[in-house]
Structure 1
Amino acid sequence: MVTAIILMNVERSRINAIADRLADMKEISEVFSVSGNYDLIAIVRVPRNDDLAELVTHHLLTIEGLEKTNTLLAFKAYSRHDLEAMFSV
């Protein structure tokens, strides 16, 4: 399982609409609106790196109002919860 965090800058007037669209994507498990340098953060969980590449380089490009992304690849999860079991596909 590949986990990534995508930090996003979006047009202010489209934050809610873009968050809803992202939340409907099967690859994205969670979307947060946040304060600070970014507007939205998406948590991505996919089986393979190629799936992440497809999401970032193809699907996100179709979202009008999404201005900039910064994708962080997670190496290891530190959690008391069994995340792998919770998000197994």
Structure 2
Amino acid sequence: MITAIVFIQADVSRLSDIAESIADISGVSEVYSVTGELDLLAMVRVRTHEEISDVVADQLNKVDGVLSTQTQIAFQTFSHHDLEEAFSIGL
């Protein structure tokens, strides 16, 4: 699984609608509103690098109200949350 973190600047007057539209895109697992210079952060989880282009360039960037994006590819995951799930017995 390849994870891409997409930093998004968007029309802040329509932020909730834009975030919901992005969250509906296949391959987008989460969308967060954030503080600072960015407006939204989207987590994209796909199987191939080509799918990142399909999700980000062909769909996410075309959501009405998205002004700009910057995409970062994650090399490795370090997460206590993931470790807890891996060893969970389903409680």
How many residues are aligned here?
Answer: 85
Hey, what's the Cα distance between the residues in 2 that align with 1:26 and 1:59?
A: 9
Once the two structures are superposed, what CA deviation does each residue of 1:4-56 show, in whole Å capped at 9, x if it has no partner?
Answer: 10000001111100101111122111110011010000011001100001112
Which residue of structure 2 aligns with residue 17 of structure 1? 17
Does structure 1 residue 37 correspond to structure 2 residue 26? no
SS in 2 for 1:72: strand
Q: Which runs of 5+ in 2 are unaligned?
A: 87-91
The one-letter code of the counterpart of 2:5 is I
Normalised TM-score (structure 2): 0.85
Could you tell me which runs of 5 or more consecutive residues in structure 1 were left unpaired when the two chains were aligned.
Answer: none
Q: Distance in 2 between matches of 1:58 and 1:26?
A: 12
Question: Higher mean Cα deviation, 67-76 or 54-63?
Answer: 54-63
Match of 2:89 in 1: none
Residues of 2 paired with 1:60 and 1:82: CA distance? 26
- Match for residue 71 of structure 1? 71
The separation in 1 between residues aligned to 2:25 and 2:43, in whole angstroms, is 11
Structure 2 CA distance for aligned equivalents of residues 6 and 28 of structure 1: 10
Larger Rg: 2
Deviation beyond 3 Å, 4+ runs, structure 1: none
Normalised TM-score (structure 1)? 0.87
